[in-house]
Amino acid sequence: MPQVAADPTSTQARRSGLAFWWTMFVGMLLVILGLLIGAGGAWLIALGGSWYYLPTGIALLVAGALLMSGNVAGIWLYVLTWIATLAWAYWEVGMDGWGLVPRVLAPTVVLVFVLLTLPAFGHGRARRLGDGGYAAASAVVLVLACALGLHHFTVAAQSQEAPAPTGSPVPNQASATAASGQTDSTVHPAGPDWPVYGGSELAARYSPVKQINADNVSQLTRVWDFHTGDMPDKAAKDKYSPENTPLEVGGHLYACSAKGIVISADAATGKEDWRYDPKVSDDAIPYGASCRGVAYYAKPGASADQPCAARIVWSTLDARLIAIDAMNGKLCTDFGQQGIVDLTQGLGKTVPGWYSVTAPPTIVRGIAVLGAQVQDGQAEDAPSGVVRGYDVVSGKLVWAWDMGHPDRTGAPPEGDTYTRGTPNMWTVAAADPQLGYVYLPLGNAAVDYYGVDRKDFENQYNSSIVAIDVTTGKPVWHFQTVHHDLWDYDLGSQPTLVDVPTDAGKVPAIIVPSKQGQIYVLDRKTGKSLFPVEERPVPSGGVEPDKLSKTQPYSGYAHLDQPVLTEKKMWGMSPLDQLYCRIQFRQAFYQGEFTPPTVDKPFIEYPGYNGGSDWGSVAVDTNDGILIANYNDMPNYNQLLPREKADQIGFKSIEQGGGSQKSKDMGNPQMGSPYAIAVNAGWRLSTGLLCSEPPYGHIRAIDLKTGKTLWDEPLGSAVNNGPWGIPSMLPLDIGTPNNGGPLVTAGGLIFIAATTDNKLRAIDIKTGKVAWQTDLPAGGQTTPMTYEVDGRQYVVIAPGGHHFMETKVGDDVIAYALPKG
């Protein structure tokens, strides 16, 4: 059958038709972008912001109109606009890769679209380019622009020197005899075992075990795992955040689940020995279902076959202190009421979920010391932040430190309560058993963002590290890290006790990380700072200018906070969302760190309440003198809401049954004060992306002696992050938000998870480079630990995920080791 030649006229017509409609589409796109960017640019100028967007929007509008009218000048106008955009971008951020992304990437993609309209103009220079020529030209432009915009993604964190506050030392050597009659001033160090939450009572998160090192860590493999079985039902699916770090003693591993189920397993095989379920109800879950750990205690002189000679002690979300036999999981009937102490005694009115314990007790000299999490921002009349010490054998209350009643040492008289609404200790204490001091990192009074009604003793102790004589329950000294805290800058990190080298020799010290990024180093006997502390002037204004502190303490040792935010630091994946963030920045009240809360407009809190450092704390290589700190670098975008408006939205406290879902998504009611608080944690857009520029998370090595930075690297990749919660799958070291802490070993390694990319990493402590990493089955928002059994080193992590970090929830406990042989 004879073939019919294609009609060249018909083919050309089809091409012309496609080119025409493509040109119309691109022209319309430019018009729409021009209208949006131009209008936003005019708004930004009115707010005192950048002049770039208005003329750019006009240029896009004109270019689009020219293209739609069939005028090739629209192409060249856009090309000129793109060139001007490159120049402006370089002027604003130089070769900062993350800074160039929203300024250059999307305009370059649009440039390709514009160049693809060239075939519609079938004469002159456009025709001479030919069907392949224009595509080649577009590709070259795209490659060059992408190379410019995406080069050098890893941005080194800038460091700046800053200084800190002085405490009021009242030295008082503690007695060496515990309330139980047992003398036990022993420090239980990490080594073959991991017997205490932070490695030891000193909480350095350091192990001398070194079978796994930088040379062989690449061979690390998963050797066992088990499941706690504690997974959320539908009602609690958005409230799980286990945060657990197991213990290991004598070949037995002890882990606890989100709702406090304690499991003992063979540390070499992961085979379960026993479990104890305290049967915590879902309604007891506060902000999140967490059990950061348990405590292990062995009675001095007790025979191994004696019941509860060694015991596991921990507290639950429904405020019970429980002791069970470490060998079989049975309740220790000599402790409290058949093994249980009711921690709500003396609190007065409370409801499930308001007063909970998520941290392990710190046991020192036979005293189990614990505070509690009083759910943030509910009401000024909240349960007390009292810190109590219980005899670890009998469960009897030995002392109670109630800052509102310094004259009392025990429970309140019948009919009375511990002072309500006082700063609490929701995190983990550290202790010096030889000195007899326990160190309490305190939070804020019951309402975080309004302080007019606070009492003098609350202002004295809020956001302070307090040294308590463990045998008397009396304060020895305290050091305040934030004066009149209105930013939720409570001390979430467990402090770390180390001997700090100085020119005069080693000094027993306490390292206090903070959410605002300052790292303080104090003499742990006296509370005096070992480095200069500067009281710097800070912003004023807001709703309580007369109550604000005129200065705040800055550490002369080390700090993790970054330079102040500027409009240029606003981010987004495109010029549109960056423009919107710039507008929000200009609409807000912001004068730098410690900008006070405002009601007439939003205020920017930077760093946000997630740190700096949070509950993961720091680790210290005590052998080589290196401090390791992972930290966050994100602002919050907040605003006080007048009570009438808050009532209209539906804000109610947990005592009142909780508010509307809208109010819960917005913030906290702060009942009793004139204002509720709306909090945009991380300053996120509706797309889920953040308004500030990456990296959002870092890890830093600091010289222990001098406080100088040795290296600083972004921590976490973008694989699980993207707009609208869609994983980008991009293995770029964006530095993600992180929760959880580091583990340091004598093998020259840092083991850390914490990031939102669900990975466990081993980092070379000398260089900061990742030596090994593996994918976890759920979010790694916890701290790993390590131990040795039968000559084999294990690294264990319990990746439980985290509702706040929006990572996958899980119930695994996983061990890694080198292959045998």
Residues labelled as active-site residues: 488
CA–CA separation, 410 and 719 (whole Å): 52
Q: Centre a 10 Å sphere on the Cβ of residue 710 and count the other Cβ atoms it contains.
A: 16
CA–CA separation, 445 and 489 (whole Å): 11
End-to-end Cα distance, the chain: 75
H/E run at residue 505: strand 505-512
Note the residue count of the chain.
821
CA–CA separation, 329 and 197 (whole Å): 19
Is the C-alpha dihedral spanning 208, 213, 219, 220 positive or negative?
positive
Q: Is 11 buried (19+), middle (13-18) or exposed (0-12) by CB count in 10 A?
A: exposed
CA–CA separation, 614 and 627 (whole Å): 15
CA–CA separation, 187 and 185 (whole Å): 7
Report the candidate in 24, 100, 40 with the shortest Cα–Cα distance to residue 572.
100
Cβ atoms of residues 463 and 480 within 8 Å: yes
Give the helix ranges, DSSP H, for 170-278: none
CA–CA separation, 302 and 299 (whole Å): 6
H/E run at residue 518: strand 518-523
CA–CA separation, 200 and 191 (whole Å): 10
Cβ atoms of residues 269 and 808 within 8 Å: no
Structure tokens at 552: 């705040």
Report the candidate in 54, 46, 43 with the shortest Cα–Cα distance to residue 81.
54
Helix then strand then coil, in percent of the chain rounded to 5, is: 20, 25, 50
What interhelical angle do 124-150 and 106-115 show, nearest 10?
160
Report the candidate in 76, 83, 77 with the shortest Cα–Cα distance to residue 61.
77
Report the candidate in 531, 465, 469, 467 with the shortest Cα–Cα distance to residue 500.
531
In angstroms, the Cα distances linking 78 to 16, 30, 75, 114 are 22, 9, 5, 8
Cβ atoms of residues 204 and 498 within 8 Å: yes
Is the C-alpha dihedral spanning 44, 47, 49, 55 positive or negative?
positive
Residue 15 φ/ψ, nearest 5 degrees = -60, -45
Report the candidate in 430, 446, 448, 450 with the shortest Cα–Cα distance to residue 438.
430
**Judging by DSSP bridges, how do beta strands 812-817 and 792-797 pair with one another?**
antiparallel
Residue 517 φ/ψ, nearest 5 degrees = 95, -10
Structure tokens at 65: 């109109």
Q: State whether residue 444 is helix, strand or coil.
A: coil
Residue 637 φ/ψ, nearest 5 degrees = -120, 105
Q: Centre a 10 Å sphere on the Cβ of residue 76 and count the other Cβ atoms it contains.
A: 13
Structure tokens at 69: 């009218």
CA–CA separation, 84 and 124 (whole Å): 25
Q: What is the largest CA-CA distance in the chain?
A: 111
CA–CA separation, 494 and 200 (whole Å): 12
Q: Centre a 10 Å sphere on the Cβ of residue 42 and count the other Cβ atoms it contains.
A: 14
DSSP per-residue string spanning 790-816? TTEEEEEE----BTTTTB----EEEEE
